[in-house]
């Protein structure tokens, strides 16, 4: 075997090893991406849930109830409202 | 003599025939050739079967979930949203028969069913049984922690409606499969529905996804839908109708609020209603969207339309004097009024709601064709095209079939039918100086130009007449709204029972506000009020008043009328003085 053959053999070996390593890395990254996607979906769902809860807490029925019963407020009416006109 | 060695004695020489070794050689060669061929076959042309087997072991097709679009009100508030939920499935051939009583008890309590019921489900013949659908994720997690073999969880979505009863008829609801069944959920199913995708992946020995081969189909989330409804106005309209129905022991009620500038439907309320979050009660009468699907004889709410045609034609003026009298005979049955009037002006005919007066105007100065043309032009007899399931058009018979008695009665709203929504739409003509506005239930806050059906002069004259209805001497003083000039028309229609009119009524009020620059049209209907008066002016007008003042406040519309100090009247003078001082300070600070 001459030197050229040996060099080529070594190169082949390095290439094969790096291919295996690259594949391994690709899989790892893919798994990480999958995990991130699941996390993204979960966060999305959490957002929707929080948005729903916020809506539930801020809906007219609840505000009216709290304002009337807990804060003892009465509805606004035009006779107690001041309407300010912009000066021309 | 040749010496013969021990080992080479000729007697011991084995003479094997050559063909035997050749045969062996050939056989060995043949077998190896066969193996080689087989190996070639397996790896070459005949490898489909093995490849499929390999793929089955390592590749899977997974669904990419897609969610249903949200429904939002005009301010971007959520009125329908899909949240992830789980369905609990039992694979009955895997669930052990000797499952501990403790686990069964825990599972039953988590699923909110009795132990007996759960055991019955677990013993069913079918391999796969849904124990419960649309379970909340937190409870599903607890079920998972019980680690019962053969109990699995599947992903699905559940629809939530934060506004509940108040918005039920507008939004509708979906079924367990997340498909629209009623309301906007049904009519906009195509846009709202999500389409799940699919992908092919490689899994490892433990079933974990390690590589994605291909996305077979991209998932498509449903589009969000922005409605023109304002949840605040909807809520207050719903409550006003509900209170009136309860107060008057009525069968049902409905109200619609329209924005005259943009043609948007701000509220569409019905009572009785249902809670779309609770799947048990999603059947029966309560599902009816009466504002759009029930037609009725509009009664006196038609009078302004009839008078408007005569005004437009120039046959009468608001101040034209007319002889009314006790009876007006057209056909076999005389037309009468609730009160006896001698002479009335055209404006007073509207203010007092005189049947005879309206019938006389129609018979003396209008042809049936002119009336039919106008009623059709303002949308009567045609289903409104707002993309709502079940919206009806009512009936306006062809004018050629009208007998004189029909013409006289149609003039004041009998022998014709329309939904409350159609009446409200027709009234936009008065609010918009003679233009009929195209209506929409989707948010589109730009000014819309309409179709002209009356001159602006006639519309303004009609508005002035409608205002007199709510003033002293009119039929609907209770329609007055604090701070705003309002106008409208009452209606009290006998309900058709079988072939004739029974002792049941419908009370209406349709009107607009503020009169100086109309912003909203509101129509209210209370069906079969039984407690106290059944007149539109007593039953429906107060609902109109509440809805108008609260809606205009919500929309920040400037009052166009003087205000009385009504609320502070009951307080002692010192309190009033302090309150006035405080308000003055507010002005100064600004």
**Residue range B119-162, pLDDT digits in tens:** 888 888 777 788 888 888 788 888 888 888 888 888 888 889 99
What are the DSSP E strand ranges found in B424-555? 435-436, 451-452, 487-497, 500-513, 520-527
- The DSSP call for residue B180 is B
pLDDT (0 to 100) of residue B566? 40
CA distance B308 to B320: 14
CA distance B98 to B8: 82
Q: Does residue B237 have a pLDDT over 70?
A: yes
Helix/strand/coil for B321: strand
The pTM is what? Answer: 0.80
Please compute the mean of the pLDDT values over residues B182-200 and round it to a whole number. Answer: 90
> How many residues are present in chain A?
88
H/E run at residue B131: strand B128-135
Residue B158, by phi and psi: left (phi above 0), alpha (psi -120 to 50) or beta?
Answer: beta
Helix/strand/coil for B187: helix
Cα B273 from chain centroid (whole Å) = 12
Please compute the mean of the pLDDT values over residues B473-488 and round it to a whole number. Answer: 89
Count of C-beta atoms within a 10 Å radius of residue B245: 22
Give alpha helix (H) positions in B485-572: 536-539, 541-554
Q: Are strands B225-226 and B71-72 parallel, antiparallel or unpaired?
A: parallel
pLDDT (0 to 100) of residue A78? 63
Q: Does residue B411 have a pLDDT over 80?
A: yes
Give the pLDDT band of residue B4 (cuts 50, 70, 90): low
More confident: B212 or B250? B250
Helix/strand/coil for B196: coil
Sheet of B520-527: strand order equals B265-271, B252-259, B520-527, B500-513, B487-497
More confident: A82 or B581? A82
Contact status, residue B557 vs residue B519, Cβ threshold 8 Å: yes
B160 touches A: beta carbon within 8 Å: yes
Contact status, residue B563 vs residue B483, Cβ threshold 8 Å: yes
Q: Give the residue from A30, A43, A47, A48 with the most B CB atoms within 10 Å of its CB, the best one to mutate.
A: A48
Please compute the mean of the pLDDT values over residues B322-329 and round it to a whole number. Answer: 88
B483 with A78: Cβ contact below 8 A: yes
Which tokens go with B47?
A: 């490898």
Which tokens go with B262?
A: 């943009």
Considering only CB atoms, B211 lies closest to which of A30, A78, A82, namely A30
Count of C-beta atoms within a 10 Å radius of residue B514: 21
CA distance B477 to B464: 15
Q: Which residues pair with B201 in a beta bridge?
A: B60, B212
Give the pLDDT band of residue B580 (cuts 50, 70, 90): very low
CA distance A45 to B138: 13
The pLDDT > 90 percentage for chain B reads 43
Closest residue, chain B, to A46 (C-alpha): B83
Burial of residue B418 (CB within 10 Å: 0-12, 13-18, 19+) is buried
CA distance B103 to B111: 12
Please compute the mean of the pLDDT values over residues B103-119 and round it to a whole number. Answer: 86
Half-sphere exposure of B24 (CA within 13 A, CB side): 5
pLDDT (0 to 100) of residue B39? 92
Count of C-beta atoms within a 10 Å radius of residue B152: 17
pLDDT (0 to 100) of residue B558? 87
User: Which residues of B are catalytic, by number?
Assistant: 300
A31 with B212: Cβ contact below 8 A: no
Closest residue, chain B, to A50 (C-alpha): B83
Contact status, residue B78 vs residue B161, Cβ threshold 8 Å: no
Alpha-carbon distance B393 to nearest alpha carbon in chain A (angstroms)? 33
Report chain A residues whose CB lies below 8 A from the CB of B565.
79
Cα B19 from chain centroid (whole Å) = 95
pLDDT (0 to 100) of residue B376? 93
Please compute the mean of the pLDDT values over residues B174-195 and round it to a whole number. Answer: 89
- Mean per-residue pLDDT over chain B, rounded: 86
Q: Does residue B458 have a pLDDT over 50?
A: yes
Report chain A residues whose CB lies below 8 A from the CB of B567.
74, 77, 79-80
CA distance B434 to B430: 6
Q: Does residue B374 have a pLDDT over 90?
A: yes
Q: Does residue B167 have a pLDDT over 80?
A: yes
Please compute the mean of the pLDDT values over residues B197-206 and round it to a whole number. Answer: 83
Residue B514: cis peptide before it, omega within 30 degrees of 0: yes
Q: Does residue B110 have a pLDDT over 50?
A: yes
Of the given ranges (B236-240, B366-370, B415-419, B534-538), which has the lowest mean pLDDT? B534-538
- The DSSP call for residue B455 is -
Please compute the mean of the pLDDT values over residues B522-532 and round it to a whole number. Answer: 91
Give the pLDDT band of residue B12 (cuts 50, 70, 90): low
Please compute the mean of the pLDDT values over residues B155-174 and round it to a whole number. Answer: 89
pLDDT (0 to 100) of residue B249? 94
pLDDT (0 to 100) of residue B568? 38
Which tokens go with B588?
A: 């100064």
Alpha-carbon distance B266 to nearest alpha carbon in chain A (angstroms)? 15
Between helix B404-411 and helix B355-365 the angle, nearest 10°, is: 130
Of the given ranges (B29-38, B51-60, B228-237, B501-510), which has the lowest mean pLDDT? B51-60
pLDDT (0 to 100) of residue B1? 60
What backbone phi and psi angles, to 5 degrees, belong to B447? -65, 135
Which tokens go with A82?
A: 């001041």
Alpha-carbon distance A69 to nearest alpha carbon in chain B (angstroms)? 17
More confident: A43 or B494? A43
pLDDT (0 to 100) of residue B567? 38
H/E run at residue B198: strand B197-203
Q: Residues B272-284: pLDDT tens digits?
A: 999 988 877 777 7
Which tokens go with B494?
A: 């006998």
Please compute the mean of the pLDDT values over residues B399-414 and round it to a whole number. Answer: 90
Which tokens go with B231?
A: 């949840």
> In this prediction, does ipTM exceed 0.85?
no
Report chain A residues whose CB lies below 8 A from the CB of B554.
none
pLDDT 10s digit of each residue in chain A, 88 long?
689 999 999 999 999 999 999 999 998 898 899 899 889 988 998 999 899 999 988 888 888 889 989 999 887 766 677 777 676 6
B64 touches A: beta carbon within 8 Å: no
Please compute the mean of the pLDDT values over residues B494-498 and round it to a whole number. Answer: 75
pLDDT (0 to 100) of residue B283? 76
A41 with B164: Cβ contact below 8 A: no
CA distance B253 to B546: 15
CA distance B558 to B576: 23
Which tokens go with B438?
A: 């195209």
B482 touches A: beta carbon within 8 Å: yes
Q: Which of residues 539-568 of B touch A (CB under 8 A)?
A: 549-550, 553, 558-559, 563-568
């Amino acid at each position: 075997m001459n030197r050229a053959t040996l060099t080529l053999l070594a190169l082949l070996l390095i290439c094969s090893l790096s291919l295996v390593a690259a594949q391994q890395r690709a899989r790892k990254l893919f798994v990480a991406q999958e995990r991130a996607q699941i996390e993204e979906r979960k966060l999305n769902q959490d957002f929707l849930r929080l948005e729903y809860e916020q809506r539930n807490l801020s809906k007219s029925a609840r505000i009216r109830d709290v304002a009337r019963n807990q804060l003892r407020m009465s509805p606004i009416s035009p006779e107690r409202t001041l309407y300010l006109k912009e000066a021309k | 003599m040749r010496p013969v060695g021990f080992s080479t004695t000729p007697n011991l020489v084995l003479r094997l025939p050559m063909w035997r070794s050749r045969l062996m050689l050939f056989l060995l060669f043949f077998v190896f050739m066969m193996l080689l061929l087989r190996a070639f076959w397996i790896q070459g042309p005949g490898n489909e079967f093995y490849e499929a087997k390999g793929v089955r072991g390592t590749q899977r097709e997974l669904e990419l979930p897609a969610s249903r679009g949200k429904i939002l009100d005009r301010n971007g508030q959520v009125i329908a949203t899909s949240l992830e939920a789980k369905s609990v499935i039992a694979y009955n051939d895997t669930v052990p028969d000797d499952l501990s009583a403790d686990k069964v008890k825990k599972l039953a309590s988590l699923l909110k069913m009795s132990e007996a019921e759960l055991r019955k489900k677990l013993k069913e013949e079918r391999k796969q049984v849904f124990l419960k659908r649309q379970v909340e994720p937190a409870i599903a997690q607890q079920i998972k922690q019980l680690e019962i073999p053969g109990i699995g969880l599947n992903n699905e979505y559940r629809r939530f409606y934060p506004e509940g009863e108040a918005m039920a008829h507008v939004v509708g609801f979906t079924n367990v499969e997340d498909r629209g069944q009623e309301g906007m959920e049904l009519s906009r199913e195509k846009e709202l529905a999500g389409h799940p995708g699919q992908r092919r992946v490689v899994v490892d020995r433990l079933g974990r996804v390690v590589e994605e081969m291909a996305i077979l189909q991209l998932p498509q989330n449903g589009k969000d839908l922005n409605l023109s409804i304002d949840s605040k106005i909807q809520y207050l309209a719903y409550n006003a109708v509900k209170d009136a129905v309860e107060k008057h022991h009525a069968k049902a009620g409905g109200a619609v609020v329209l924005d005259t500038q943009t043609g948007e439907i701000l509220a569409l309320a019905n009572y009785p209603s249902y809670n779309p979050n609770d799947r048990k009660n999603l059947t029966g009468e309560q599902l009816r969207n009466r504002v759009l699907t029930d037609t009725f004889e509009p009664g006196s709410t038609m009078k302004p339309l009839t008078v408007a045609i005569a005004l437009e034609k120039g046959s009468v003026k608001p101040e034209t004097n007319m002889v009314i009298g006790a009876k007006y005979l057209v056909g076999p049955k005389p037309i009468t009024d609730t009160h006896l009037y001698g002479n009335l002006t055209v404006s007073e005919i509207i203010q007092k709601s005189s049947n005879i007066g309206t019938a006389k105007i129609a018979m003396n100065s209008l042809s049936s064709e002119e009336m039919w043309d106008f009623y059709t032009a303002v949308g009567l007899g045609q289903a409104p095209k707002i993309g709502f399931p079940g919206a009806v058009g009512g009936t306006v018979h062809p004018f050629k079939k009208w007998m004189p008695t029909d013409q006289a009665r149609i003039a004041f709203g009998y022998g014709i039918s329309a939904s409350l929504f159609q009446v409200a739409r027709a009234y936009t003509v008065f609010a918009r100086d003679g233009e009929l506005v195209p209506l929409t239930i989707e948010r589109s806050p730009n000014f819309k130009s309409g179709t002209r059906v009356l001159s602006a002069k006639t519309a303004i004259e009609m508005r002035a007449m409608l205002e007199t209805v709510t003033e002293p001497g009119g039929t609907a003083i209770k329609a007055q709204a604090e701070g705003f000039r309002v106008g409208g028309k009452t209606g009290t229609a006998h309900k058709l029972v079988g072939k004739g009119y029974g002792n049941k009524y419908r009370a209406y009020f349709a009107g607009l506000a503020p009169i100086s620059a109309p912003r909203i049209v509101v129509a209210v209907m209370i069906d079969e009020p039984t407690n106290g008066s059944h007149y539109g002016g007593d039953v429906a007008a107060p609902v109109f008043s509440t809805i108008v003042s609260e809606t205009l406040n919500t929309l920040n519309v400037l009052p166009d009328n003087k205000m009385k100090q009504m609320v502070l009247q009951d307080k002692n003078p010192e309190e009033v003085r302090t309150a006035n001082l405080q308000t003055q300070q507010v002005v100064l600070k600004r």
